[in-house]
Amino acid sequence: MEAALAGTLSKARLPSGVELHYLQAGAGQPLIFVHGVMGDWASWSPQWEAFCARYRCTTYSRRYNHPNRNHMPSPDHSALVEAEDLRQFMGVLGLESAVLVASSYGAFIALALAVEHPAMVQALVAVEPAMLCYADFSDTGRQERGRFTQSVIEPANAAFRRGDDTLGAKLMTGGIHTPEAAVLQGPAMTRRLQNAQAMRMLALSSNEFPLLPPAALTALRCPVLLVCGRDTAPIHAEVFRNVCAAMPQAHQARIPGAGHPVARDQPELFNQLALKFLGEQIPGSHGHRGLSGPPGLGSLPGIALPPP
């Protein structure tokens, strides 16, 4: 799948001094992919060809992810900081607005940008936004967040603080995905370790999960598709349920056979779903062209997608 992302990376220098490496291809309306904590610009390889056939796509590595060389301290680093990075990045690219397709902490960043600068987001496909504070809006969520914090976040953050990136990456990988994923070897673990600085900076932050107020999410008027995997970890399921409750105007989809990394676990289903949604929601979009399968988002096999 990496071959779909072959090309020479460009480098943007933001007004803040942050550098961001990125790749662009395709033609049409601008679309930006935003990856999760331990991903990078190549995380969207299963989506690249399908989306570039319909949009002018950009995939970039966020502030502390490979191969960027940003080492400036950020004691209050969070999605709010990286939403400002994304705003400045769009300015460097000459974009007043764009479609965003984002996953996990990247979806948190995309929602933060939409809240602060709603005119900049034409539409958003958000896969399991990693806004852990939303677990606190339900009894079962608070219980699960307590368990997740004690068993995953605290030991992983302790490992990052003492410089043991390998252990920290394994603990977070196992907690976010599955225990089996924590024993990844070879290229998969190498890639995670290349991006360990991003997780370390969150571990050292004073508040890595700041609250986007529910009222601010309810007020969003751009088309939003919230996506989760039916087999996702309990913490993500609890967060997703409460985010959906705060966004009754958003479409929701639960994809079978997928965990937290929905777009990588079920790339064909995800691509079809997201492209249909964008094609039907954005005036003048051609995101629906060439898609196979029955018409209508809700008719995709095995996917629950109630209208808002």
In eight-state DSSP terms, residue 232 is -
Beta bridge partners of 125: 101, 225
For the chain, domain boundaries: 2-133+208-299
Q: How many Å apart are CA 48 and CA 59, to the nearest integer? A: 9
State pTM to two decimals.
0.89
The label of the residue with tokens 């997928």 reads: 258
- Sign of the four-CA dihedral 277, 307, 257, 227: positive
Instruction: List the pLDDT tens digit at each of the 308 positions of the chain.
Output: 344 576 789 999 999 999 999 999 999 999 999 999 989 999 999 999 999 999 999 999 999 999 999 987 778 899 999 999 999 999 999 999 999 999 999 999 999 999 999 999 999 999 999 999 999 999 999 999 999 999 998 998 899 888 888 888 888 887 776 554 444 556 666 777 788 888 888 888 889 999 999 999 999 999 999 999 999 999 999 999 999 999 999 999 999 999 999 999 999 999 999 999 999 998 766 544 433 333 345 555 556 554 44
Query: Helix 196-203 crosses helix 154-161 at what angle (to 10 degrees)?
Result: 110
Beta bridge partners of 275: none
Rg (CA), the chain: 18
Q: How many Å apart are CA 185 and CA 264, to the nearest integer? A: 18
The label of the residue with tokens 């319909």 reads: 54
CATH code reported for the domain at 2-133+208-299: 3.40.50.1820
Measured in whole angstroms, how far is the alpha carbon of residue 273 from the centre of its chain? Answer: 16
